[in-house]
Amino acid sequence: MRIAYQGEPGAYSEAAALRYSDHADLIACESFEQVFAAVAEGRVSHGILPVENSVGGSIHRNYDLLLEHDLPIVGEVQIVITHNLMALPGTRIDQLTRVFSHPQALAQCERFLRTLPHVKVEATYDTAGSAKLVRDQQLAGGAAIASERAAQVFGLEILRPGIQDFADNITRFIIVSRVAEDDRAADKTTVVFSLPNEPGALFKALSVFALRDIDLSKIESRPIRGRAWEYLFYVDLPLGRHDPRCARALVHLAEFARSLRTLGSYPSWKSREAAPASQV
């Protein structure tokens, strides 16, 4: 198995990929777009992408990219995110003038950063990439917010561990592939649909699930490009699409939805964690 992830070695996406498969061959990419391209072109078998953080919310770009590519979701991973402030060895916190990290990481450490009013906060493309930047440019007054592994990889010293605002800082990642896998073990399905712009349309859409006692574990709306004030709705259902309730609900929804697409039916992380080691 070859898994593409966004970021440098030490990125949280790398940790999530190893959590999904500890024997996988990992390929680093600079952007989310490059992860999708690597899978689509067959250079890797799978790609891993963050889609939601329990503190910072959704990573909208990856929802948009799911729609742009015909790559089914085949799994998911959840990991606890622990952010650390790191700098060149021997640096003191009172010597810092700049702190670098990904915008999501900066948002997740907002309270701590407010205790450093003399420091300029600068957003970068990656947490581990920020650590690499400090190392490569030997930034005496620079620091990065990244994982403990990133500090080890790039030879930085952790000045403050665990600086995230909330202890239950969890990120959910999805796994995409070129070919849908056997979904008989699936207990989660992700769909995206659009609706006519008329009164009660969303109520009718949600009712197809409520009438069958199907919970929605997530619902996310995204604007439809080129059609102002019209939206796509991404929904996670805690059922595999082979389940009769799920299948009937989607058939019902298709009767009045303008568009409907199943993005994947796959084992949830909860079920994967509960499975015997021989089945993972």
List the chain domain ranges: 2-81+169-177, 84-160, 183-274
**Which sequence positions are flagged as catalytic?**
171, 173
The predicted pLDDT at position 56 comes to 84
The predicted pLDDT at position 46 comes to 98
Strand partners, 176: 47, 73
Is 0.85 topped by the overall pTM?
Answer: yes
The predicted pLDDT at position 102 comes to 93
Q: Work out the angle at residue 258's Cα, subtended by the Cα atoms of residues 256 and 260, and round it to the nearest 5 degrees.
A: 90
d(CA 250, CA 17): 31
d(CA 151, CA 258): 49
- The tokens of 242 are what? 């082979």
The predicted pLDDT at position 226 comes to 87
CATH entry, 84-160, from 3.40.50.1970, 3.40.50.1460, 3.40.640.10, 3.40.190.10: 3.40.190.10
The predicted pLDDT at position 8 comes to 93
Topology (CATH) of 2-81+169-177: D-Maltodextrin-Binding Protein; domain 2 (3.40.190)
Q: What are phi and psi of 269, to 5 degrees?
A: -65, -35
The predicted pLDDT at position 224 comes to 92
The predicted pLDDT at position 270 comes to 81
The predicted pLDDT at position 184 comes to 82
Q: Tens of pLDDT along 46-100?
A: 999 999 999 888 999 999 999 999 999 999 999 999 999 999 999 999 999 999 9
d(CA 89, CA 235): 46
Pick out the chain residues at pLDDT < 50: 276-280
Q: What is the CATH superfamily name and number for domain 183-274?
A: ACT domain (3.30.70.260)
Nearest to 232 by CA among 84, 50, 66: 66
Same fold: 2-81+169-177 with 84-160: yes
